[in-house]
Amino acid sequence: MKKLNEGEIQDKTTEINPAWCMKDNFLHRELLFKDFIEAFSFMTSVALIAEKAAHHPNWKNVYNKVIIDLTTHDVGGISTKDFDLAKAIDALLHRYEDCK
């Protein structure tokens, strides 16, 4: 696994939801859910996927808002693991119709 360069990151962003962006050297996304229960349910689902992939997000939750920052600490930046997890997160979101 290697750290992706800027061009590779730009190419891979076409594979994920456009709501993801680069922020402070992280692949970043903010989500709003209907309420805390829905946000926490989503986080639980992501946690199971992340644990299986051995790749864990940096994230924060306040009531119905979830902020996710992805990076690969082992390579000191963004890798394909971050895009794989972002894709898995995007796939989960179809369960949450009210999510923005």
CA neighbor of 81 nearest in space, from 89, 30, 31, 66: 89
What is the model's pTM? 0.92
Model confidence pLDDT, tens digit, residues 28-79: 999 999 999 999 999 999 999 999 999 999 999 999 999 999 999 999 999 9
Per-residue exposure over 61-99, b if at least 16 CB sit within 10 Å of its own CB, e if not: beebebebbbbbeeeebbbebbbbbbebbeeebeebeeb
Element (H, E) at 81: helix 80-92
